[in-house]
Chain A
């Protein structure tokens, strides 16, 4: 009942142990519990394809990405999958697992029902490339449109600043973002309505919030949020917050405060009067 796993010598193989340490490692492998599991993996190119069935014997503690790698090594060498750190830190291996947008490297098989195949599909909000890989380059074109970090002059002669930890803590939540783009994938404005030209999506609203609330930043992105970045399209269904692997409160802590800034400036009667007298703000 054993299958070779990349990086893990199988229990049936002859011992490669050269000393007591490697023997201890091998002994550890022999304690692993195995389970046969089925997978339905979407395969194809440029959006044309269908589900393919694979069976493989999994080890205790495996994540979906491990199973994909095992299938790739043993049954489908050319199975396309994008990944990098396998530790939930780089945000490369985003996919839809049993219909839910998740990181493959942080989804354990033992939290998915064992009596049905595990389905793995590419993200749906981006153009398809091959198998589980999508073209996420749109995200990399959006970011430079947001006005860059613009600090106030340094507080000290050595070019450094004095910042209170509380002010740092306020934006750290946004800076945890690993740019997996799962929030973009699940956002109906992008996924169903394809408003990629008019709306920057939750990821970049979080990015804008991180800049707007950065204790040193002096730039003003409020008008751009309304005019170019389409913040009004978000109707706060909170789908993005639910899929965030970093548990960022995207809607409550980033989008709603930004919406409030837009509302305060553009729809508050007092502000409207000031704007009428002084003219619109220019940047």
Chain B
């Protein structure tokens, strides 16, 4: 029997990005013992990459803003598939969560009268994003980390979970290995919070780090929880495309918020074409008006570059497909042009977008204050995830909670920029609070040790097959190519069915991969174990996307290019069937209470 160490906590949080740390801090504040398990070192999670800001209707820059406008913007952006209760709580609680972050030491950029400055972002009616230049995510994670280390959290760094454990229906803990030495650990817990982030590593072009292998999604699915709306993957319109080694690295939407424009090979601002009806009334109809908006003119409407990410990404793909792309298969994003409008433009750009300046200078040899960037869409975020209760964030498995990107509901069919960091804070706190409550109200569960032994044996199987078997990297590479080409930004029935066939073959290959060496810090082994999770989320995305025979938000079907009202009232649920196969069902969205419906109606005009 493989050996393992047993560790007990009341609440175990899996993931230490913004959502996980906020959940852990809150659970600890509620007086229970809290453990945090994370795949990386503390403070390195993907939250660190967030650039633009945290959306919250503080109304510091435009006093017309309030939670009702933020709620309506979020619902419109999500094309009304959102969990409206989550959208309501999020809009109401985000300002308090931002102020709390400041009380823990975060330092945001300021307005002239010393309050938190807010910037424009796609889909937000008013300047709403609290930010620190273009490194808001770093400020947020460092603040939570530096606060959290004084709150009695027990952090298990570089530790990967291979399976969740149940006691009857309810959660009982998880089984994991430490990456450094490869030793197994059994975590017993009364409640478990999943905060594992996204799935971007299922695609070859992504802004996501290696950690984004859909662990939380897959672990919850295997433990019997339902996944919701997995077809909705956000392709961020602006990723780097050249040189090839940097392809996919994010270029913040903040570039467009500061006045950056998109142009095709012929120098044309193509975003002025095809503005969607939902947004026509809010969109500038001249370049002049768009510029005034970015400079804070409250009477001006926003430029079309700041339409929602799904639309901007598809417009870029259209330009490239129709032969009007830039030399490396993208389009131009130009911020340098503002030198015609502003004195000291170069200095202004370096101050407002320091990371972008640095990133292009260092990695691409491009000075963004002087020349245009070449950009193209990159896999960025998954709106779909673990189905949760809007108030408590508990999944369909008792005692198993989920928050942040791995949970579904808040964003519906498309997420607005800036709504992710606020999501992490609002629902991280709620998950932590209700997980602590659940732990206080329940006895310690019992763990089935034969299940643990089976998990350990299965985790070690790649070593038995050894270096003569196919390696894990080849399978991962094939999987990414399949998803990128067949279940990408523009989808068809035929291609996605082909993808399902390829995924079946990849499952067979993944079950046979072998790795050389031993258990000590062995990335080949780690990658081999990640494959199972990537395959589950890939299949869930493909199956949900095939069933949604319409185009909405992040999901675009070439064979069904229009929105279909019949699909506007349902969520897709993915579950593991009794025979181990993936099943899909439609769940009707409950009608909105009159008060919320009235807000949506009022804001549509």
A residues in contact (CB < 8 Å) with B: 4-9, 16-22, 24-25, 27-29, 31-32, 45, 59-63, 66, 72-74, 77-92, 106, 108, 129-131, 133, 135-137, 140, 143-144, 148-149, 151, 154, 158-165, 168, 171-172, 175-176, 178-179, 211, 214-217
Contacts and interface: CB of A to CB of B under 8 A. Distances in A.
Given A7-B477, A77-B517, A21 B524 contact: no
A28 B328 CA distance: 5
Ordered nearest first, which 8 A-B pairs have the shortest CB separation? A61-B243, A77-B524, A78-B517, A162-B114, A149-B105, A73-B473, A24-B329, A80-B521
B459 interface: no
Contacts, number: 219
Contacts of B523: 72, 77-81
Given A22-B485, A77-B467, A83-B210, A90 B244 contact: no
Nearest to A147: B150
B473 A6 contact: yes
B495 to A, nearest CB: 6
B471 interface: yes
B179 to A, nearest CB: 9
A158 B485 contact: no
21 contacts: A7-B248, A18-B485, A22-B485, A25-B329, A28-B244, A59-B243, A62-B243, A72-B524, A77-B473, A78-B523, A78-B524, A80-B520, A84-B210, A87-B359, A108-B363, A129-B520, A130-B520, A135-B180, A161-B114, A163-B107, A172-B132
Interface in B490-524: 490, 495, 515-518, 520-524
B157 A140 contact: yes
A140 B42 contact: yes
A32 B241 CA distance: 12
Given A77-B524, A78-B523, A133-B180, 19 more contacts: A9-B481, A24-B321, A61-B242, A63-B363, A73-B477, A78-B518, A87-B249, A90-B209, A106-B362, A108-B362, A130-B521, A149-B104, A154-B103, A163-B107, A165-B109, A171-B107, A172-B107, A172-B132, A216-B105
Nearest to B515: A77
A84 B515 contact: no
Contact of B146 (A59, A137, A143): A143
A83 B205 CA distance: 18
A85 B99 contact: no
Contacts of B521: 80, 129-131, 133
Given A45-B520, A131-B521, A159 B209 contact: no
A91 B321 CA distance: 37
Contacts of A84: 40, 44, 46, 209-211
B321 A78 contact: no
A86 B471 contact: no
Interface string B125-138: 00000001101011
B150 A144 contact: yes
A137 B325 CA distance: 47
A160 B130 CA distance: 13
A258 to B, nearest CB: 18
A87 B138 CA distance: 13
B541 to A, nearest CB: 17
Contact of A88 (B250, B358, B485, B515): B358
Interface string B212-242: 0000000000000000000000000000011
A24 B115 contact: no
B55 interface: no
A32 B157 contact: no
Nearest to B98: A160
B102 interface: yes
B481 A16 contact: yes
A6 B477 contact: yes
B300 interface: no
B7 interface: no
B385 interface: no
Contact of B204 (A7, A18, A129): A7
A8 B486 CA distance: 16
A131 B113 CA distance: 52
Contacts of A164: 110, 114
B480 interface: yes
A90 B135 CA distance: 11
B272 to A, nearest CB: 22
Contacts of A73: 471, 473-474, 477
Given A158-B99, A164-B110, A214-B105, A28 B249 contact: no
A78 B515 contact: yes
A89 B136 CA distance: 11
B42 A89 contact: no
A24 B146 CA distance: 45
A137 B474 CA distance: 33
Given A78-B516, A143-B149, A160-B99, A91 B142 contact: no
Nearest to B207: A87
Contacts of B211: 84
A165 B116 CA distance: 10
Given A20-B320, A72-B523, A78-B524, A214 B107 contact: yes
B282 interface: no
Contacts of A32: 243-244
A105 B550 CA distance: 40
B383 interface: no
A155 B495 CA distance: 59
Contacts of A72: 473, 523-524
B99 A148 contact: no
A6 to B, nearest CB: 5
Contacts of B147: 148-149
A164 B48 CA distance: 25
Contacts of A130: 520-521
B154 to A, nearest CB: 13
Contacts of A22: 484-485, 488
Nearest to A79: B523
Contacts of B30: none
Contact of B138 (A9, A79, A92, A178): A178
A224 to B, nearest CB: 15
B88 interface: no
A80 to B, nearest CB: 4
Contacts of A172: 107, 132-133
A214 B142 CA distance: 14
Given A85-B209, A140-B42, A60 B244 contact: yes
B397 interface: no
Contacts of B589: none
A28 B359 contact: no
Contacts of A140: 41-42, 149, 157
B321 A18 contact: no
A21 B317 contact: yes
Contacts of B488: 22
Contacts of B107: 163, 168, 171-172, 175, 214-215
